[in-house]
Amino acid sequence: ETPTRSPMKALFGLLLLVVGASALKTAPAPALRLRGGMDKTPPEAYQAFLATGVRQATMPTTQTVLQALLAGGFVALGAALAMTVGANVPGIKSSNPGLQKILLGAFGLPWALLMVLLTGGQLFTGNTATITTALLEGQVTLEQMLKNLVLSYFGNFAGGLTVVYLLGAAGLTTPGAAAVAVAKTSLPFMQALIRGFLCNWMVCIAIWQAYCATTVAGKYISVFFTISSFVALGFEHSVANMAMIPLGMLNGADISVAKFLTSNLIPVTIGNMLAGSIVVGTAYYYIHGSGKKSSA
C-alpha cells in the first residue's frame, strides 16, 4: 500500500466519524423510546383503537359490505397460502413438527391481516373489540354495533367463499387443506370455543400493537409474530376457517356443510366474540379508557 493512500483513508475515516457523531447528536432520541417517541404509548393506542371502532360502526352500509367482502378475500388468500406452504410439507411435518408449525404460521395470515389493516377493512374478529370500546365510551349505539358485526361477519364469509371458488376455478389446488379441515372439524365443541377465544385474544392484541406503530414496517412486525404464533399454537379463527375448511372440502375432505358449521364455525365464532369484546374491548376500557374513572 502506498504512503499517499494511508492519509486519505485516515481522512475518510475521520469524516465518517464526524458524520456519524453529528447524526447521533441531531437524531431525535425520544424516537428510540416507547414513551414520548414516534410509537404510541398504550393510552394513545387505546385512542386509536377507539377511533377505529367508531369509524367501523358508523361507516355507510355499502362501504361496510364492500370492506367486509374484501377483508374476507384477503384472509382467504392468506389462508390459501398457508395451506399451500405450511400445510403441504409432509416430510418436514413428520421429521420436525415444530418447524412445520412455524411455516404454517409465518406464510399467509400475517400479511392477510396487514392488508386488512392498511386498507381499513372490516374484519369481524377485530371489530368485536374495537366497536366494544366505542360502545362502552358511548360513541356508538348497540344497534350500530350489532349491524356492523352482522354485516362484517357475513361479508367476510362471502368474500372468503368467493376467493375459494376462484381458486378452484383457476385449477389451483391446496392439498394440505384437506387434513387441516378434517382436524378442525373433529374438535369437541368446548375445545373449539376455547381455541377461538385464545385466538381472537391474540388477533385483537396484534391489531392493538399495529396501532402502536407509525410505520408500515412497524405494523408488520407487530402483526407478524402474534398472528404466526396463534396459527402455530393451533388456535381457531372464524374468518380464516371460513376459507380454510371450504378449501379442504374442495380438495377432498369428507365434511358436510352442517359439520363445518356446528363442529367448528359456530363454537369458534362464539369464542372469538367473547375474547374480543371482554378481554380486549372491555378490559382496556377499564384500563386506559373512561372506565378507569368509574372503577377508581
Per-residue pLDDT band at 291 (split at 50, 70, 90): confident
* Segments of 182-265 assigned E as strands: none
In DSSP notation, 53-105 reads HHHHHHS-HHHHHHHHHHHHHHHHHHHHHHHHTTTS-HHHHHH-HHHHHHHHH
Residue 16 above 90 pLDDT?
Answer: no
The proportion of the chain whose per-residue pLDDT surpasses 90, expressed as a percent, equals 76
Q: Which three cell numbers stand for residue 2?
A: 502506498
Four-residue CA torsion sign, 230, 185, 114, 154:
negative
Instruction: Determine the pLDDT at residue 26.
Output: 40
Region 122-129: mean pLDDT is 98
Per-residue pLDDT band at 56 (split at 50, 70, 90): very high
Per-residue pLDDT band at 30 (split at 50, 70, 90): very low
Instruction: Determine the pLDDT at residue 39.
Output: 83
Instruction: Determine the pLDDT at residue 23.
Output: 42
Instruction: Determine the pLDDT at residue 94.
Output: 86
- pLDDT, tens digit (0-9, with 9 covering 90-100), for 171-217: 988 888 999 999 999 999 999 999 999 999 999 999 999 999 989 99
